[in-house]
Amino acid sequence: MHPAYSVIFFTTASGAGYGLIATMALFGVLNGVTLDPWFGAIGFGLGTLLITGGLLSSTAHLGHPERAWRAFSQWKSSWLSREGVLATATYVPLALTAWGWIVEGSLEGPFGLFAVALALLCVLTVHATAMIYATLRTISAWHNKRTVPVYLSFALLTGSMWFHALAQMFGYQTPMQAAIVAIGLLLVLFLKRSYWRTIDLTPGASTPESATGLGDIGKVRLLDNPTMTETFVQREMGFSIARKHSLKLRRLAFLGYCAIPFALTLLTSEAAPAVAVPGTLAAAICVSFGVVIERWLFFAEAKHVSMLYYGAQSS
């Protein structure tokens, strides 16, 4: 599949934003961090900026962005529509939780319920985003049980990384925050390696024989190209990346979202502020760049079944 930069930015930015806001809401309601108004304003502000920027960028991938509102009407059958409904609904408890934290200085009583609802809606929105891809049977790399956990784990990792960096800047760091970051790192390490192993070793269910219905006759091969020039389908669905480049980018992504952040977090999280603040901030930035590469590969390595009619031997 052709990697659309607007969708890559959307999935990475919104994932980080929902992860950051959910982490702040849970730590706040569980008294895991001081409800400093400035800390809350910057944390919720950054999360809202990431979410809103990501959602707006996603409309750039539409042929008619002005018609995006129509997607909301299909929530009964479309995960894209459900994502839009959930993303919009999240702004309500987000505003109320931010008000409780920044203005009231408390997340008890109704504000505590708003915070819990906010965290739940963040998780559900990321889940809906992942389901848009996981339910596409025409792309075997996405249609597997690891797609949704991978999206959720990366949202947890990027969100907790930025939360940890902000907490270090304000002097509110705790061992629990570093533990959440470590859990996120371990989850993405296991889940993403499992995802890549699956798409490498498990061929798609469709073949030229099954696609043409000529499997009973024997091996099917393309005699001539179906078109004289490259079509939209070939450009968008037939994007491919050489295996050697894919492996290099996988290693680079792993260094960015796992290896380097793990080392920085381990070495600097309990150090003096002069070392801990730049160290955790560098870890958060490194994770974000690593996730961008990972998400680019998520699209570039996917093969659409329609390419079987253009000479591909597997989907």
pLDDT in tens, 198-219: 988 887 677 666 666 766 776 7
Nearest of 301, 309, 304 to residue 204 by alpha carbon: 304
Q: Show Cβ contacts of residue 251 under 8 Å, excluding neighbours closer than 6 positions.
A: none
Cα angle, residue 112 at apex, residues 111 and 118 outer, rounded to 5°: 90
3-state secondary structure of 139: strand
Chain-centre distance for alpha carbon 194: 17
Predicted pLDDT at 215: 66
pLDDT digits (tens, 9 = 90+) for 97-144: 999 999 999 999 999 999 999 999 999 999 999 999 999 888 888 998
Q: CA 197 to CA 193: how far, in whole Å? A: 6
pLDDT computed for residue 212 by the predictor: 67
pLDDT at 313: 62
Sites in the chain below the pLDDT cut of 70: 61-71, 204, 207-212, 214-215, 218, 222-224, 228, 232-236, 238, 307-315
State the pLDDT at residue 14: 95
**Where along the chain do its domains lie?**
5-310
Angle between helices 37-58 and 147-170 (to 10 degrees): 150
Superfamily designation of domain 5-310: Formate dehydrogenase/DMSO reductase domain (1.20.1630.10)
Query: Tokens standing for 61?
Result: 């991938």
Give the per-residue pLDDT at 74. Answer: 76
